[in-house]
Structure 1
Amino acid sequence: MKNFEVLGLSQPLLNGLADMGFENPTEIQQQSIPILLKHDGDFIGLAQTGTGKTAAFGLPLLDLIDVNSREVQALILAPTRELAQQICGQMEQMSKHLGKLNVVPVFGGANIMNQIRDIRRGAQIIVATPGRLMDLMKRREVKLDALKYMVLDEADEMLNMGFKEDIDFILSKSDTGRNIWLFSATMAREIKRIVDTYMVQPEEVRINPKNIVNKNIEHQSIQLKASDKIEALRRFLDYDEDMFGVVFCRTKRDTQNVADQLNNNGYATEALHGDMSQAQRDAAMKRFRNKNLKLLIATDVAARGIDVDDITHVIHFALPDDPEFYTHRSGRTARAGKKGVSIALITRGDNRKLKFIASKLGIEFTQGEVPALEAITQKRISRWSENMIKQEINEKIDEQLVNAVQESFADVTKEEIIAKLLTKEYNSIYKRNSISDLNDRSKGRDRDDSPRRERGKRTSRGTEEGMKTYFINLGLKDDINKGALLGYVCDTTGISGAQIGRIVMDKTHSYMDIAEDVASQILTLDGKQRNGHDLRVNEHKGVVKEPARERGGRGGRGGRSGGGFKGRRDSNGGGGFKGRSNSGGSSHRGRRSDSDNSGSGNRSSRRRSDSSSGSNDSGGNRGGFKGRKW
């Protein structure tokens, strides 16, 4: 493999790379740097995230900048604040032997006047997000008379994030003979439009993603129930004390929920998503970079620009729809020649998508395993024993105190003390993990819902025999249904779905039957929060009756009722309902309030028509009602 010396870089830059511990260039760096140092024209570099594109354009750019001039000579556009900051940091590290060079980051969410002040002091290179740069250009604070280079980093991602008009504005207003260097993971249609519109006979370097994506990354897939995914994360963290990774979720809400559930169980994690303030995002990234977190839980967009050393694992809590996003995600690990693991947590329904990703990217997924509780126990106890032996004795402990403790333990044998200490550590492991075998893929175990079980006889209070009933102040108004409540309880308490029976849900609260031997575990929810809502949980010893709207329906957990209802209503409506109704009547196809009694001719004739055709509701909700019944 070539080293950096043969690429034509100056000695000050080589010294900076040596300080950073870089020895051998990546493929995109090998091919791009010599061209960019000599080619006075436009350039396209196509390579996946994590292949070293920042150094591929950053090193030749630094060698070509005139450090004696205080004018803006290069603009680098990046899609997110985090990536802009990361580029600035790398540029400053690589250029520390070059002399006086100012690289100024500008982005939204920060004080624009401070950024203007930094630019006025003299900035040879500006690294910016498109929106903030456009704002500064309109204020005439960024002067482009001496601009020589315009770099578009992660160009496809900027376009995906809606910066098309901003980029067009910047490129059209900066056409002063500058060269455009465009770096992207793909040559999408919009990228091709930019090339055709603004670039002239560009040189191109294209790195085949199949030569990159699985080079240093081990790709694993683990099939399990959706409700077991949180516990799988807990077990990975319990088993591997050196784990340091990023967990990718599909939505901002999922991201926050996963982080909250892990934090509530004592794990050091942090969420990163678009609903957080910039100060919160900066604080989360600082904690992650300082390795005060074991896992960062992020969305795809929020994770752009994360370039943190020594990430050991990337975990896909939900698979992305686009194979390119899988590559972007997994590229967070195995950087700078190191090894990494990418784990996809999938349900049975994800197998087709997983095969598509594997085929598209030319990678092979091996079947991984969630660490078994027995293996976690053995490893944790072994570490605990080693740490106890290594524990230094505090010299400040008073001898009299030692004698007092020895006297209190006089009737306890050494074996008993060890067993008691071991029991405390053992219980702490089992307290936050269920005894379920998460790797059991037998029929029913890999379903997204809990396995069916035989229903017990009912007591006089309606509770199943061998179970206790608990009240939870979560209901339909809290944006939760029975399936979501079941998953939430399983994920946060360690109770399995097979140990939960009847669920009765109303607007403001719910009742849940739980097997007596594990029932007390649900009390761990009491006093916790869910989406800002303080939870209250207690045993209920009274009679629980299912709401009238749920009686007499089909069987199943919680007494789901039949009927073709596919909407929502708050009182006895008639047939043909296809929207929301708060009062009686049939055939309503929109939304009306209780006071809307006037009716129109059309509505009256429709009611008469429905009535004559036998679609009223007097016969037991059989009138073609097409909504969702609670």
Structure 2
Amino acid sequence: MDNFSSSNINLDIKKALAEKNIEIPSEIQVKTIPVLMSHDGDFIGRSATGTGKTYAYGAPLLSRIDSTVGTVQAVVLVPTRELCEQVGKELVFLAKYIPELKTESIYGGVSLKTQIHDLSNGTHVVVATPGRLMDLVQRKVVHLETLKFVVFDEADEMLFKGFQSDIDKILATANRSYSSWLFSATMPDEVNSIIKKYLNKDLVKVMVGKAETPNKGIKHQLIELPAESKLDVLLHYLKKYSNEKSIIFCRTKSGVQKLYKQLSANKFSSGAIHGDLPQGLRNKVMDQFRAGSINTLIATDVASRGVDVDNVGVVFQYHMPDTKESYTHRSGRTSRAGQTGVSLTFIFPEEKEKLAVIQKELDLTFKILALPSAKDQLVNKAILWGRKIAKSKPVGDKLDPETRQEFKNQLNHLSKEELLEKLLATYLREQQG
């Protein structure tokens, strides 16, 4: 299979791909699509984040759906709401010219009543998080007796999030004649429990690249710093990459919120997402990030699964990841679809040994960056302080007119250039003590 037009996928899917000038398949697509178009057994596909796994299973899956029969024939299980929404949109796009084929995405955090209504009209493919799908199966809203395909997308994350019990309850209602397709960017040993439990029928495997290896287009960088310098150094690099979309990963929800307030105070255009935010607000922030109305996204690891945004130039690992899988998925938010990008990890001295383990397991080479000099950090602070002044709102009625005029009288005799120079000099003197 040299290109999509020469494949045997549905002609209407080819038409949708051609409309977006998507012609040359990625390696995982080349090796997977011909197999899944005819294979009736189980399947495992592994490939790095951002290499096109959704189309690798989505094109053959939709090609094999019988849209004349109004029953659920395929379920795609995903670990997060963001990934559920992303995969759902991709499948709807692929089926754009197959109007009778109906795909629905269901996940928690949105109206159950609305989702029940959406599922009432002969849905063929359900993309779902396990918890919400289990709820709808138990309510007898979704019936899986006619299931032909089950896709586990990001299977490792579903295991780590403890979804196995929910998956068991879901699949207990299905006829085991369905085929199971498992896809992931990483294949840690723990995933073997899913493989042994759910995949046993004429199993075929396609493994692209080394296991758990981040995309080749990523420049891996590292900076060691004391805790008190962390924010200033981040601000330094955010200014350096101000023309790029960036994602900053924090370990905790509270860390995300704290950093969001700090960036907002420094007049950076940013948004935050984590598990405690209502789904509507998470969607709004993601829409703003995709559209470019905010340049920086701050997120917990929940967002490293399912944030598929074009042209993310740099990923900041503000808090060091706990595992090699977490590093792979975080860094994989940049360098997508053959592009290049930067993954910059911040570590404290006591974290060096832990990172060395991740580095060895992933066979990575980090470029060690020097801490910005005191002078560079001071200059950056001054520029950001000037930006805060420029973007600050007028004080309004906080001061009476006489006081406001008295303050202005102290500065009125200065030219604009003199005023700017004196502001800068005053700031630098106060910063230097």
Q: TM-score range by the shorter chain?
A: 0.7 to 0.9
SS class of match (1:261): helix
The alignment partner of 1:293 has SS state of: coil
**What is the correspondence of 1:145-184 to structure 2 with a 5 Å cutoff?**
145-184=145-184
Partners of 1:235 and 1:370 within 8 A in 2: no
Q: Which amino acid aligns with 1:131?
A: G
Code of the aligned partner of 1:37: M
Q: Report what 1:591 is aligned to.
A: none
1:484-523 alignment runs, 5 A limit: 517-518=430-431
Q: How does 1:73-84 map to 2 (within 5 A)?
A: 73-84=73-84
**2:283 aligns to what?**
282
CA distance in 1, matches of 2:378, 2:336: 28
Q: Secondary structure at the match of 2:172?
A: helix
For residues 166 and 264 of structure 2, the distance between their equivalents in structure 1, rounded to whole angstroms, comes to 39
Q: Does 1:108 align with 2:108?
A: yes
Q: Does the 8 Å contact 1:51/1:212 carry over to 2?
A: no
Contact 1:9 1:63 in 2 (8 A): yes
Aligned: 1:94 with 2:94: yes
Identical columns (%)? 40
1:66: which partner in 2?
A: 66
* Separation in structure 2 between the aligned mates of residue 518 and residue 341 of structure 1, nearest angstrom: 31
- The aligned runs of 1:136-535 (5 Å cut-off) are 136-188=136-188, 190-199=190-199, 200-209=201-210, 212-369=213-370, 419-420=417-418, 423=421, 427=424, 517-518=430-431
Does the 8 A contact of 1:245 with 1:294 survive in 2? yes
Counterpart AA for 2:152: L
- The farther-off stretch of 218-227 and 192-201 is 192-201
Instruction: Label 1:189 to 1:233 Cα distance change in 2 as closer, same or farther (>3 A).
Output: closer
> CA-atom RMSD, angstroms?
3.0
Gaps of 5+ in 1: 385-410, 436-515, 521-630
2:96 and 2:221 map into 1 onto residues whose CA distance is 40
Larger Rg belongs to: 1
3-state secondary structure, aligned to 1:105: strand
- Structure-2 separation of matches of 1:155 and 1:427: 54
Shift of 1:252: 1.5
**3-state DSSP of counterpart to 1:152:** strand
| Distance change (3 Å), C-alpha of 1:376 and 1:215 | farther
Q: For residue 86 of structure 1, report the CA deviation from its aligned partner.
A: 0.3
Report if aligned partners of 2:155, 2:184 keep a CA contact under 8 Å in 1. Answer: yes
Q: Secondary structure at the match of 2:37?
A: helix
Report if the CA contact (8 A) 1:88-1:104 is conserved.
Answer: yes
Structure 1: which amino acid aligns with 2:44?
A: I
Aligned partner of residue 120 in structure 1, secondary structure? coil
Shift of residue 302, structure 1, vs aligned partner: 4.0
Residue in structure 2 matched with residue 599 of structure 1 by the alignment: none
Deviations 1:412-439 (A, max 9, x none): 9xxx75x458649x849x96xxx8xxxx
Report the Cα offset of residue 519 of structure 1: 9.3
Name the residue aligned to 1:612: none
Measured at CA, do residues 427 and 21 of structure 1 come closer, stay the same or move farther in structure 2, by a change above 3 Å? farther
Per-residue CA deviations over 1:596-622 (Å, capped at 9, x if unaligned) read xxxxxxxxxxxxxxxxxxxxxxxxxxx
Counterpart residue number, 1:43: 43
Per-residue deviation, 1:374? 5.5
**Using the alignment, how far apart are the partners of 1:211 and 1:131 within structure 2?**
27
Tell me how far apart the structure 1 counterparts of residues 311 and 260 of structure 2 sit (CA, whole Å).
21
* 1:132 to partner: Cα distance: 0.9
TM-score (norm: length of structure 1): 0.59
Local SS of the residue matching 2:182:
strand
Segment drifting more, 3-12 vs 153-162: 3-12
Question: Which AA in structure 1 matches 2:287?
Answer: K
Please report how far the alpha carbon of residue 153 of structure 1 lies from its aligned counterpart in structure 2 after TM superposition. Answer: 0.7
Residue matched to 1:15: 15
Query: Could you list the per-position Cα deviations for residues 259-309 of structure 1 after superposition, in whole angstroms to 9, with x for gaps in the alignment?
Result: 111111111122222222323322222222222222111111244211111
Q: Secondary structure at the match of 1:345?
A: strand
The structure whose RCO (Cα within 8 Å, separation 6+) is larger is 2
CA distance in 2, matches of 1:349, 1:79: 32
Aligned-partner Cα distance in 1 for 2:361–2:23:
32
* Unmatched segments (≥5 aa) in structure 2: 387-412
Which residue does 1:122 correspond to in 2?
122
Structure 2: distance between partners of 1:23 and 1:217: 24
Amino acid of the residue matched to residue 102 of structure 2?
A: N
Q: Assess if the C-alpha contact under 8 Å between 2:244 and 2:295 holds in 1.
A: yes
CA gap of 1:421–1:2, structure 2 versus 1, over 3 A, is farther
CA–CA distance in 1 between the matches of 2:214 and 2:431? 45
* Aligned-partner Cα distance in 2 for 1:16–1:232: 45
Give the AA of the match of 1:242.
N
Q: 1:234 to 1:69 in 2, by over 3 A?
A: same
CA shift, 1:346, in A, is 1.7
Tell me, yes or no, if the aligned pair for 2:187 and 2:212 is still in contact at 8 Å. Answer: no
Q: 2: distance between equivalents of 1:322 and 1:331?
A: 14
Q: Given the superposition, is the C-alpha separation of residues 21 and 122 from structure 1 closer, same or farther in structure 2, using an over 3 Å criterion?
A: same
Taking the aligned partners of 2:301 and 2:15, their CA distance within structure 1 comes to 35
8 A Cα contact 2:46 2:183, kept in partner: yes
CA separation in 2, counterparts of 1:362 and 1:26?
A: 23
* SS of alignment partner, residue 230 of structure 1: helix
How far apart are 1:100 and its partner, in Å? 2.9
| Cα deviations by residue, 1:221-258 (Å, 9 ceiling, x for unpaired) | 11222221211221222233312111111122212111
Residue identity in the other structure for 1:40: D
Change (3 A) 1:236 1:518: closer
Secondary structure in 2 matching 1:267: coil
CA contact 1:78–1:154 (8 Å) conserved in 2: yes
Matches of 2:213 and 2:322, distance apart in 1? 20
**In structure 2, how many angstroms separate the alpha carbons of the residues matched to 1:42 and 1:319?**
36
Alpha-carbon spacing, 1:114–1:422, altered in 2? closer, same or farther (3 Å): same
Say whether the 8 Å CA contact 2:48–2:215 is kept in structure 1.
no
Query: Partner of 2:302: helix, strand, or coil?
Result: coil
Aligned equivalents of 1:218, 1:162: Cα separation in 2: 33
Decide whether the 8 Å contact of 2:316 with 2:344 is kept in 1.
Answer: yes
Name the CA shift for 1:214/1:137 in 2 (closer, same or farther; >3 Å): closer
CA distance in 1, matches of 2:279, 2:13: 33
Letter in 2 for 1:295: T
SS in 2 for 1:341: strand
Secondary structure of the equivalent of 1:205?
Answer: strand
| 8 A contact 1:75–1:150 mirrored in 2 | yes
| 1:452-498 CA-partner distances (Å, limit 9, x unpaired) | xxxxxxxxxxxxxxxxxxxxxxxxxxxxxxxxxxxxxxxxxxxxxxx
Query: May I ask how many residue pairs the two structures share in their alignment?
Result: 402
Q: Post-superposition shift, 1:350?
A: 2.5
Letter in 2 for 1:102: K
Provide the secondary structure at the position in 2 that maps to 1:147. Answer: coil
